[in-house]
Structure 1
Amino acid sequence: MQSKDLVHLAQQYGSPLYVYDAEKIKSQYNRLSKAFSKVNKLRINYAMKALSNVAILQLLREMGSGLDTVSIQEVMLGLHAGYEPDKIFYTPNGVSLEEIEEVNAMGVQINIDNLSILEQFGTKYPNVPVCIRINPHVMAGGNANISVGHIDSKFGISVHQLPHLVRIVENTKMNIVGIHMHTGSDILDIEVFLYAAEILFDAAKSFKNLEFLDFGSGFKVPYKKDDIETDIEELGKKLSKRFNAFCTEYGKELTLIFEPGKFLVSEAGFFLAKVNVVKQTTSTVFAGIDSGFNHLIRPMLYGSQHHIENISNPKGKERFYSVVGYICETDTFANNRRISEIKEGDILCFRNAGAYCFSMASNYNSRYKPAEVLWMNGEGHLIRAHETFEDLMKNQIPLPTAVNAE
Structure 2
Amino acid sequence: MNLNEGRYQIGGVDALSMVEHYGAPVYVYDAATMKRQYKRMEKAFGKVKRLRINYACKALTNVNVLRLFRSWGSGLDTVSIQEVELGLRAGFDPHDILYTPNCVSMEEVNEAVEKGVRINIDNISILEQFGALHPSVPVCIRINPHIMAGGNSKISVGHIDSKFGISIHQVPHILKVVEALGLTVEGLHMHTGSDILDAEVFLQAVEILLRAAEDFPDLDYLDFGSGFKVPYKDGGISTNIEDLGSRLGDRFNAFCADYGRELELMFEPGKFLVSEAGTFLVRTNVVKTTPATVFAGVDSGLNHLIRPMFYDAYHHITNISNPAGKPRIYTVVGYICETDTFGINRKLSEVREGDILAMSNAGAYSFMMASNYNSRFRPAEVLVMDGQAHLIRRRETMEDLLGPQVELPQLSGAVKA
Aligned to 1:98: 107
Aligned to 1:182: 191
1:358 is aligned, of 359, 364, 367, to 367
Aligned to 2:231: 222
Matched, 1:277 2:286: yes
Residues 362-381 of structure 1 mapped to structure 2, 5 A cutoff? 362-381=371-390
Matched, 1:254 2:298: no
Structure 1 residue matching 2:276: 3-state secondary structure: coil
| In structure 1, C-alpha distance between the alignment counterparts of 2:134 and 2:32, rounded to whole Å | 43
Residue correspondences, number:
406
Unaligned runs of at least 5 residues, structure 2: 3-7
Please tell me whether the aligned partners of residues 123 and 174 of structure 1 are also in contact (alpha carbons under 8 angstroms): no
| In structure 2, C-alpha distance between the alignment counterparts of 1:283 and 1:248, rounded to whole Å | 64
| In structure 2, C-alpha distance between the alignment counterparts of 1:37 and 1:146, rounded to whole Å | 28
1:401 Cα offset (Å): 3.3
Matched, 1:130 2:153: no
| TM-superposition CA deviations, 1:271-303 (whole Å, max 9, x none) | 000000000111110000000000000000000
1:11 Cα offset (Å): 1.0
The one-letter amino acid of 1:8's match is S
| TM-superposition CA deviations, 1:41-72 (whole Å, max 9, x none) | 00000000000000000011100101000000
Matched, 1:148 2:157: yes
| TM-superposition CA deviations, 1:187-240 (whole Å, max 9, x none) | 010000000000000010110010000000000000002211000000001000
| TM-superposition CA deviations, 1:96-139 (whole Å, max 9, x none) | 11110011100000000000000110122111010000000000
The one-letter amino acid of 1:300's match is M
Please give the TM-score of this superposition, normalised by the length of structure 2: 0.96
2:85 is aligned, of 70, 76, 88, to 76
Q: Rate the CA distance shift 1:11–1:33 in 2: closer, same or farther, 3 A.
A: same
Matched, 1:292 2:292: no
| In structure 2, C-alpha distance between the alignment counterparts of 1:67 and 1:315, rounded to whole Å | 43
The one-letter amino acid of 2:69's match is L
Q: CA RMSD in A?
A: 0.9
| TM-superposition CA deviations, 1:291-343 (whole Å, max 9, x none) | 00000000000001100000011122110000000001110011111111100
Aligned to 1:333: 342
Aligned to 1:192: 201
Aligned to 2:51: 42
| In structure 2, C-alpha distance between the alignment counterparts of 1:354 and 1:12, rounded to whole Å | 20
Please give the TM-score of this superposition, normalised by the length of structure 1: 0.99
| In structure 2, C-alpha distance between the alignment counterparts of 1:404 and 1:153, rounded to whole Å | 50
Matched, 1:109 2:121: no
Aligned to 2:240: 231
1:158 Cα offset (Å): 0.1
Matched, 1:118 2:132: no
Structure 2 residue matching 1:110: 3-state secondary structure: strand
The one-letter amino acid of 1:371's match is A
Aligned to 1:245: 254
Structure 1 residue matching 2:140: 3-state secondary structure: strand
| In structure 2, C-alpha distance between the alignment counterparts of 1:297 and 1:18, rounded to whole Å | 14
| TM-superposition CA deviations, 1:361-382 (whole Å, max 9, x none) | 0000000000000011111000
| In structure 2, C-alpha distance between the alignment counterparts of 1:71 and 1:296, rounded to whole Å | 22
| In structure 2, C-alpha distance between the alignment counterparts of 1:396 and 1:146, rounded to whole Å | 34
Please tell me whether the aligned partners of residues 288 and 325 of structure 1 are also in contact (alpha carbons under 8 angstroms): yes
| In structure 2, C-alpha distance between the alignment counterparts of 1:144 and 1:182, rounded to whole Å | 14
| In structure 1, C-alpha distance between the alignment counterparts of 2:403 and 2:137, rounded to whole Å | 39
1:160 Cα offset (Å): 0.3
The one-letter amino acid of 2:70's match is R
Structure 2 residue matching 1:182: 3-state secondary structure: coil
Aligned to 1:62: 71
| In structure 2, C-alpha distance between the alignment counterparts of 1:403 and 1:45, rounded to whole Å | 49
Structure 1 residue matching 2:233: 3-state secondary structure: coil
Aligned to 1:396: 405
Please tell me whether the aligned partners of residues 310 and 346 of structure 1 are also in contact (alpha carbons under 8 angstroms): yes
1:403 Cα offset (Å): 7.5
Aligned to 1:89: 98
Aligned to 1:32: 41
Q: Which moved more, 1:85-94 or 1:313-322?
A: 313-322
| In structure 2, C-alpha distance between the alignment counterparts of 1:119 and 1:249, rounded to whole Å | 30
